[in-house]
Amino acid sequence: MRHEPDIGSASLDPRQDADRGPGPARLLAELERRCMNLKTSSGGERIDTLLTRIDEFAVLASDLIDGLPAPATIETAMRRAFDVAHARLEAAFAAAEQVLLPLSQMMLTGKGFDSAVSAAVELMAMLTPIRHDALRLHDGLSRELRALLYPGVCDAIEVRLVDAGFADPIRAARRLREWREGGPATLKRTAERRALESVLPGLIDALERFEDPDGTLAALDEIVCRLPADVDLFGPFEARPSLMASLLGLLGHAPSVSRHLIAQPELIRRLIDSSAYAPLPPPGDLDAEFKLLLGGGDRAAGQLRVAQAIDAYRFGLGLQLVEATADALDIAVSGCDLAEAGLRAMADDVLARMKENHGEVPGAELVILALGRFGGRALTCQSDLDIIYLFTGDYRAQSDGRKPLDANEYFSRVAQQITTALSTVTTMGPLYEVDTRLRPWGAKGMLACSAETFDRYHQENAWTWEHMALTRARPVYGSEAARKVVKTIVGRRLRQQRDPSALLGDAVKMRSDIARHKPARGTFDVKLVKGGLVDLEFAVHVNQLGRHVGIHPQLRSAIRAQASAGLIDPMVIEAHETLSRMLIVLRLLSPHSQDPAPEQRAVIAQACGFEQWDALQAAYGQARIVVQESWAAVIAGHSLQES
């Protein structure tokens, strides 16, 4: 805040005249004078947040005023930050009134006359002119900036777009003009253009609230221009304003989700009829749907149809996450169920086609083992599918078809074809990134190996980190009998006796290596930050391998079992849920791992199950403390066990 405003020079501002009232510098000086009085008033500690917001607003206003002599130096981000600061200030005024109003009303009703009541009455009286000053400053400075930066703008829409903080209001106005003239196919009809005129003011108001209104409008324009002629959009917007808010929320806060609408414009129908909010169909229904889509002689076309159907369901899950209509943890489970259904369909199709040319391998069966977040049923929108391809039976056996192959070659070809199918490229990019490097001997090993080889490798050659990865292993394809074979192998390896000192030493070194070679990218890198999910996973995995407690692929179940056994602080249960929700949400809405933009924070908080951003931050900080203490306690506990 500028504590020594030059009031004299402000009155000489050439941009000030009698018709337009005081210039911005004079308005800022008046606001600061009143705020100095407010800060020294009794009871001011009740409105600390408001005082902070006033300071933030005044600092930004001061910077913009200083830039008025050279307007070309004023960046769009500065104007946007100023608008956001004023919006946050307005919210802080409303919150302060909620605190002070009940106290001030006590004097009016004669129920109290103590110092706190008197102070509240005094503060309430002071807030009204300060709020008015802030509003005048915001409007006046915005008007000054518009006149300096866009002197030729006189069209009402262009003026409104400038005031809304668009970086390129002329281009934005051109887009809207093309809509109004019926350029896009969906706006050829008079009724749709009439609906557009009705919703246009509210549309611009809504765009103003986003960090990048230009980009949000550009994305909406791409959708509007791609819509088929028979799809109404602005009519439904007029009938259901919440529909417009939903679509703009996706475009402004979750571009990765809105890309689905650009890639498949017909998905807008699911948004309009609300079917996008429906839960994921049961596994059997997904299997039947995907099998039907795979039908026909063109294998690549069938795989593309399945991939597009999966993308459509992922759009719905992303929408539900952004709008907080479902728990983020449940969304992650549904994403995993969807990936499993796609894997089953692709695997069934590949095996059927292999059988046509190469027959089957007698006594052998494919088993697909999921690991990582796939195995733990906790996929985010950016998660790879960690997979190991195995087969039961004798690896020396040969298939019985007209072109026989030995078992290793047969199932390696199957594995390669399934991986390719799961990586089918749509207009959204590859369907999934499939990672098979956790197989025995990593990238140097065979793409598919026998269950016997897998067991022997983990008994004789595997490193501690590979056994830690096995804690989240879960068969996702194969008959019950074949899955049971693999589950038995995994369980046996996880429960084998270990040297506690070697286990702990390996774990501590691994965590240190990760911190050194792959440090957290920012405060909100929920996985890698100190006290984040990686620390939590290490604590749980050391207990799983060293104490043989909580051996379950889902981390939530493992933590609960260890908490019940007294091996880990029960507070870790809540800490894990907080961190997991944050990871799932931030991967979608703020994947850069830095502080989210102010415009996104409320959406992120609500998607994580909190009403306010401040509450989420507090829970995040507490979760990290709990995890750090638990990891330290696990290290200490195993050290005592060794001694």
Q: What is the pLDDT of residues 395-420, one digit of tens each?
A: 999 999 899 999 999 999 999 999 99
Q: Which of 163, 154, 153, 244 is nearest to 200 (CA)?
A: 244
β-partners of residue 367 are: 390
Give the count of alpha carbons within 13 A of 614, CB side only: 1
- What pLDDT sits at residue 81? 82
Token digits of residue 476: 């996702």
Q: Which residue has the tokens 């207990």?
A: 543
- What pLDDT sits at residue 115? 58
- What pLDDT sits at residue 251? 93
161 three-class SS: helix
Q: What is the 3-state secondary structure (H, E, C) of 486-516?
A: HHHHHHHHHCCCCCHHHHHHHHHHHHHHHHH
Contact criterion met (CB below 8 Å) for 270 and 316: yes
Averages of pLDDT over each 10 residues, the chain, 643 residues = 34 35 80 80 69 89 87 78 84 78 54 58 79 88 80 80 86 94 94 96 91 92 93 95 93 90 90 94 98 90 96 96 97 98 98 95 98 97 97 95 94 98 94 97 95 97 96 98 98 95 94 94 94 97 96 97 97 98 96 84 95 94 97 80 55
Residues of the chain with CATH 1.20.120.330: 501-642
Token digits of residue 54: 């006033």
Instruction: Give the burial class of 40: count Cβ atoms within 10 A of its Cβ; 0-12 exposed, 13-18 middle, 19 or more buried.
Output: exposed
Judge if pTM exceeds 0.85: no
Contact criterion met (CB below 8 Å) for 397 and 362: yes
Give CA torsion, residues 171, 176, 180, 183, to 10 deg.
Answer: 70
Q: Within its chain, how far is the Cα of 59 from the centroid?
A: 31
- What pLDDT sits at residue 11? 32
Give CA torsion, residues 414, 420, 423, 428, to 10 deg.
Answer: -140
DSSP H helices, 405-518, are 407-422, 451-460, 464-470, 480-494, 500-517
- What pLDDT sits at residue 517? 93
Q: Which of 217, 145, 212 is nearest to 174 (CA)?
A: 217
| C-alpha separations of 149 from 109, 158, 234, 586 in Å | 52, 13, 32, 36
Contact criterion met (CB below 8 Å) for 127 and 53: no
Token digits of residue 160: 């409104």
Which CATH architecture best describes the domain 283-496?
2-Layer Sandwich (3.30)
Residues of the chain with CATH 3.30.460.10: 283-496
Across the chain, mean pLDDT equals: 89
CATH number of 501-642: 1.20.120.330
Beta strands in 364-447 (DSSP E): 366-371, 385-391, 425-426, 429-430, 434-435
Instruction: Give the burial class of 170: count Cβ atoms within 10 A of its Cβ; 0-12 exposed, 13-18 middle, 19 or more buried.
Output: middle
Contact criterion met (CB below 8 Å) for 452 and 391: no
Rounded Cα distance, 181 and 76, in Å: 29
- What pLDDT sits at residue 465? 96
Rg (CA), the chain: 30
